Amino acid sequence: MDVSNGSWVAGFRTAVISPYEEIKLSESRGFAGQTVRQVLRLAGGGERLRVRLSNRYGREALRIGAARVAMRKAGDEVVAETDAGLRFSGADEVVVPVGEEVVSDPVDMAVAAGTELALSLYLPGETGLATYSHQPMATSFVADGNLASAVALPRAERVPARFYVTGVDVLAPEGTAVAVAFGDSWFEGVGTTMDADRRSVDVLNERLGKGWAVNQGIAGNRLLDDEVGEHALARFDRDVVAVPGVTHVLLHFGINDLGLPGMVGRPPATAERLIEGFEELARRARAAGLAVLAATIGPFAGAIYPGISTPEGLAARRRVNEWIRAGGAFDAVFDVARAVGDPADPDRIRPEFDGGDGMHLNDAGARAMAESVDLRDLVL
């Protein structure tokens, strides 16, 4: 790969949330004197890489005593000869201030789409609750002591979350284009097989012949209101516009605006408010020079969680979907609702696509979602 005229682009992304939120879909945690090893599957590759670490939601400075990256072999085991230390402005250790992010110095490591990196962080002191990704459908490994350079982590605890990492940049040929999948659990992958990389964004990348898509989905995320995570309009600049190499953004929002309020006894968002929010996202994306592809809101009638599926919320979903299909606010539309909805009851997910809770997609459903994107609308 010739990168003599290369540029840094996003090869991997994972959106993070605060551990102090009221609505919790998984337990937050901290660390003390432990090593955290996380598997990061790259959407695209290059000749060099650098890692982004965040203390955005921490309440005290984060000390990282050692950070290393290697190719993952299997489980918590790495390929020893690929192991490399990460430095930060030349130093082996780094302190990340409250609310800030650091980027490692570049590492000479050639990687490709589908490469599984193992990122190992040694956290020597009390971290407090960690900035994290809560539903990535990927297992991390936690072990006591400084084992950042160990080939394997004996007796490691398995944790279904990521901590502190927000992305990997790769040095790729000039002009490499990146799409950002910006949305909720239907991008993050809830309902798909754990550690199998069968999320809708993974399948989309299988289909793309050029460029790639990175995943900025947050399970429970809303378009209009905070929790879970900062709402889409609040995080758009950071999680989309600031992504190096971004040319396109794919949107899937609305289910949580319509369903989550019911869990706490509040009315769902109105169709009018959701339409205004989508219009604002489209305006801001175009102002940043990005093409916008919007999904219709997926079906969620029959969701097993109390208060989620209400007549008012489902009626608003139908109204917004009619507007998305016909309103002309976006450069293109991918009709997820029709792709995965039950023809006999379009407010429900097809039984063969249901992840088991009436609200999320299984592997087959995630594939159908990805295949609803017309690649002629996503020329990277």
Give yes or no: residues 272 and 320 share one domain: yes
Instruction: Please say which residue of 112, 135, 168 terminates a domain.
Output: 168
Q: Are residues 155 and 228 in the same domain?
A: no
168, 194, 214 — which closes off a domain? Answer: 168
In this predicted model, what pLDDT tens digit does every residue of 168-179 receive, in sequence order? Answer: 999 999 999 999
For residues 335, 339, 342, 347, the Cα torsion angle rounded to the nearest 10 degrees is -20
- Residue 3 domain-assigned? no
- Residues 124, 268 within the same domain: no
- Per-residue pLDDT tens for 288-336? 999 999 999 999 999 999 999 999 999 999 999 999 999 799 999 999 9
- Residues 341 and 319 reside in one and the same domain: yes
Find, among 46, 43, 33, the residue nearest to 1 by Cα. 46
Q: Are residues 157 and 255 in the same domain?
A: no
Average pLDDT of the segment spanning 354-369: 98
267: region left, alpha or beta (phi > 0 left; psi from -120 to 50 alpha): beta
Query: For the segment 74-133, what is each residue's pLDDT rounded down to a tens digit?
Result: 999 999 999 999 999 999 999 999 999 999 999 999 999 999 999 999 999 999 999 999
How many whole angstroms separate alpha carbon 366 and alpha carbon 340?
9
- Do 65 and 141 belong together in one domain? yes
Write out the residue range of the structural domain in which residue 210 sits: 177-377
CATH code, domain with 234: 3.40.50.1110
Same domain flag for 61 and 149: yes
Q: What is the mean pLDDT of residues 282-292?
A: 98
Confidence at 263, pLDDT banded by 50, 70, 90: confident
| Number of domains within the chain | 2
Show the tokens assigned to 216: 């900025």
